[in-house]
Amino acid sequence: MKVIGIIPARYQSSRFPGKPLIDIAGMSMIQRVYQQAKHASSLTEVIVATDDQRIYDHVKSFAGNVMITSETHESGTDRCAEVIKNLVGFDVAINIQGDEPFIDPQQIDLLVSCFENKETEIATLIRRVENEDELFNENKPKVVLNKNGEAIYFSRQAVPFLRGIETSQWLTKRPYYNHIGIYGYRIDILQQLTALPLSELETMEALEQLRWIDNGYKIKTAISSHSNDAVDTPADLENILKKYFNN
């Protein structure tokens, strides 16, 4: 099985413009993500997909693989699909978040392992919720699973709702899971996903994976124990620096 890791990287960001090029203790964020991905034993190739010449030139400067893609893409999934249209020979594509400079390579390998089952169309990672702050944080989407370990719904709310039980007791009654935003797709499925129109559920929750569920696609999940640190704002960057480099 040949697997490509694709790192979508936009320069424009409403909360943090130029985010892929920010310096994190002497190395740009995009280079850190790239190097972490290269350590994943399951990936045949790693490539950055960007719409910006500055990011393209920077990736080239550290001898990374990079491709210029359209400026009109609405999601990282669409950007991954354009990359795949220009390459041949891969069975699975992994969409790696470009704002997680310390992603664990073993997480990537765990996600790829989902495709050892030939029936897996799409896969993603989840992590068990550990406290109430996580459970009720609308910036940390939750996922509901069926008995086969497939995602049947994603929400920014804490789901499922436990009727008649105090919210402070919910985590003692059943496991809840946060979604980790890394996806894997079989190549033929990826091309199908980008042709789907927006769905009502996707628009309401602002979660693109609901479009796939709405259209009958199955999303296999794997449980990771690793805590991911995404950089969405300058404040997140400060927290990252304190966590990893504050001696």
**130-187 pLDDT per residue, tens:** 999 999 999 899 999 999 999 999 999 999 999 999 999 999 999 999 999 999 999 9
pLDDT for 228 equals 81
Nearest to 241 by CA among 91, 101, 59: 101
pLDDT for 217 equals 98
Q: Which fold has domain 3-126+178-240?
A: Spore Coat Polysaccharide Biosynthesis Protein SpsA; Chain A (3.90.550)
**Chain center to CA of 90:** 19
C-alpha to C-alpha distance for 35 and 5, rounded to whole angstroms: 12
pLDDT at 14 over 80: no
Residue 15 or residue 152, greater confidence: 152
Do 211 and 114 contact (CB within 8 A), yes or no?
A: no
**Chain center to CA of 147:** 23
Q: Which residues contact 227 (CB under 8 A, 6 or more apart)?
A: 127
Whether the bond between 160 and the residue before it is cis, its omega within 30 degrees of 0, is yes
Angle between helices 29-38 and 53-61 (to 10 degrees): 50
Q: What is the pLDDT of residues 153-164, one digit of tens each?
A: 999 999 999 999
* Mean pLDDT of the chain, nearest integer: 94
Q: What is the pLDDT of residues 189-220, one digit of tens each?
A: 999 999 999 999 999 999 999 999 999 999 99
Token pair belonging to 138: 């609308």
Structural domain boundaries of the chain?
3-126+178-240
